[in-house]
Amino acid sequence: MSQSNPLRSKYIKLIAHVATIITVAAWGSSFISTKVLMDKGGLTPVEMFTYRFACAYLLLLLYTCRRSLLSKSWSDEALFLLCGVCSGSLYFITENVALLHTTAGNVSLLASLSPIFTTILLGIFYKMRIGPGVILGSLIAAVGVGFIVFGKGEGVEIHPAGDLLALSAALSWGVYSIAVKRLIPHYNSFFITRKLFFYGVLTSLPLLLSQQQPLHIGVLVDLSHPEFLLNFAFLVVMCSVAAYLLWNESMKILGSVTANNYLYGQPLVTMIAAAIILHDPLTIGGAIGCVLIVGGLVLSDKCPELRLSRRD
């Protein structure tokens, strides 16, 4: 029995790693569906978030309708509100608005730095000593992201307003990762994910109702353009419901740092998806970035003596 427990734990961690990779793959390829709906369907950034997560919330509510809607305490409810804002409305809307004020490359690079913020915040709030392997692995992976983002020969341009918004998005995800860490031991992933979606949508509604443009929800049921509904369904089912459930469960098993380090792989997935679907050419810089990201992840996760001094 003592020998089977470590083996079982090993397989559970392996499954969690696979689940995290699937999640990052979904999030990394979601830009294609988002691009179709925004560029061709006319949906605004606020509409994209609100419609997508409102539908995801309703799906989870139907599945868990017999369970309690409220958490165990008002302090936990406040934490759910914070998580819903930081992983939902604030993160997505800030990131999308940043695209209006800076380059897409800057947003991709800066928004992908959330694992660094997560690691720093863990060290501050949980009094954890950050091991050199985690720091070095994160930096190597971050450099790899830079190679992918700017591998097409585009230079770095400084746009303070947009760049700060992109950094704010990365910081908000880090805050979510720290806050949800307190909730994970006490609630299952279905409950956590449902609450995140609820508060994310609730806090985005004022922005949706105050936007100057007319609502474009009709394009989602336009039978003459079924690609809109198909792309929206992919965003709701795979990139929202399934991805967030897998993500919250993986963080419970792997810890915040290990799980969040996989987010460096999003630009890698985006590059591959763009090459396959949009026929964007692969570059030498992109190939170097792939190697650096994978190497950074391996260094952070596979060198026990260089990990965090305490399990997160």
Q: What is the pLDDT of residues 165-214, one digit of tens each?
A: 888 888 899 899 888 888 988 898 889 999 999 999 999 999 888 888 88
- Choose among 245, 266, 291, 285: nearest CA to 32: 266
Q: Give me the phi and psi of 182, to 5 degrees please.
A: -75, -20
Query: What does the pLDDT read at residue 123?
Result: 76
Are 309 and 128 contacting, i.e. CB atoms less than 8 angstroms apart? yes
Residue 80 has pLDDT above 90, yes or no: yes
The tally of CA atoms less than 13 A away on the side-chain side of residue 246 is 20
For 227, 242, 296, 309, the CA distances from 133, given in Å and listed in that order, are: 44, 31, 9, 11
25-52 residues labelled b (16+ CB within 10 A) or e (exposed): bbbbbbbbbbebbbeebebbbbbbbbbb
Radius of gyration of the chain (CA): 19
Burial tier of 100 (Cβ tally within 10 Å: 0-12, 13-18, 19+) = exposed
**Listed range (4-18, 70-84, 138-152, 225-239) with the worst mean pLDDT:** 138-152
pLDDT given at position 104: 61
Q: Are 214 and 160 in contact (CB under 8 A)?
A: no
Q: For residue 284, what are the CA distances in angstroms to 29, 150, 151? A: 21, 11, 7
The pair phi, psi for residue 130, each rounded to 5°, is -80, 120
**Tokens at residue 138, please?**
């994160």
Listed in sequence order, the residues at least 6 apart from 110 whose beta carbon sits closer than 8 Å to its beta carbon are 98, 163, 166, 167, 169, 170
pLDDT in tens, 22-40: 998 888 888 778 878 888 8
Q: Which residue has the higher pLDDT, 66 or 23?
A: 23
pLDDT, one tens digit per residue, over 263-285 is 877 777 777 777 777 666 767 77
Q: Which residue stretches of 36-73 are H helix?
A: 45-63
Alpha-carbon torsion (220, 21, 120, 288), positive or negative: negative
**Residue 158 neighbours by CB distance under 10 Å:** 9
DSSP label at residue 73 = S
pLDDT(76) > 50: yes
Beta-carbon count within 10 A of 21 CB: 15
Q: Are 27 and 240 in contact (CB under 8 A)?
A: no
Q: 């380090």: which residue's tokens?
A: 261
Share of the chain above pLDDT 70, in %: 82
As a whole number, the mean pLDDT across the chain is 80
- Sequence-separated (6 or more) residues with CB below 8 Å from residue 240: 52, 53, 55, 56, 197
- As a whole number, mean pLDDT of residues 94-110 equals 71
pLDDT at 303: 53
Q: Please state the pTM of the whole predicted model.
A: 0.80
* CA–CA distance, 244 with 261 (Å, rounded to integer): 16
Tokens encoding 161: 């307003």
Whether residue 105 contacts residue 150, with contact meaning beta carbons closer than 8 Å, is answered with yes
Say which residue the tokens 């690609």 belong to.
Answer: 227
- The Cα–Cα gap between 244 and 251 comes to 10
pLDDT band at residue 151 under the 50/70/90 scheme: low
Q: So what's the pLDDT on residue 222? A: 82
